[in-house]
Amino acid sequence: MTAVLAVRANGEKLPILFILRGIPGGLIEQDEFDSYPIGHYYAVQKCAWMDSRVWAIYLRKVLRPQVREPSTLLLDNFKPHVSKEGRKIASEEVECVVADIPPNATSVVQPLDVGIMAPFKRHLRNLWLDEDLIEGSDSEEDVDMMTVPAQKSALL
């Protein structure tokens, strides 16, 4: 799953777009919808990644209703962002002035990437690596069911 986060310059959080693994236009498990957070948006993509189709959904369904006054949309060089179609939707339909983020300016202009997402991903990775045993194993002696860090600890 991918989560697309956005915040206004004043700190106001925009709804999240969750990109779930699935086939666009395919059948989905409808019984899970009740457990999904309300007020956010959901899209499906084969690998649960952002692509041109999902970027267009984000612009039209999530961002457009949030634009209340003249706005600038800062975009990095991610392929769907710089595509003619993506820029056209952003400027004509969402009515934003599209501006490119200068090279090497991510930490300044994309603080969510640096200050929120990177530490969050690092925390999740550490939780996973610190796990002693994979769920379902009752025996600490079962090396086949141990995570790599646990196997290393057992060897020391």
| pLDDT class of 148 with cuts at 50, 70, 90 | low
More confident residue, 3 or 53: 53
Q: Convert the pLDDT of each residue in 91-144 to its tens digit.
A: 999 999 998 888 778 777 776 777 777 787 788 778 777 765 455 555 555 545
Q: Convert the pLDDT of each residue in 13-67 to its tens digit.
A: 899 998 988 888 877 666 666 777 788 999 999 999 999 999 999 999 999 999 9
What pLDDT shows up at residue 75?
85
- What's the CA gap between 113 and 98, in Å, rounded? 19
What lies within 8 Å, CB to CB, of 146 at 6+ separation is 132, 133, 134, 137, 140, 154
Q: What angle do CA 129, 124, 148 make, to 5 degrees?
A: 15
Neighbours of 71 (CB within 10 A): 15
Neighbours of 20 (CB within 10 A): 14
What pLDDT shows up at residue 91?
94
**pTM metric for this prediction:** 0.71
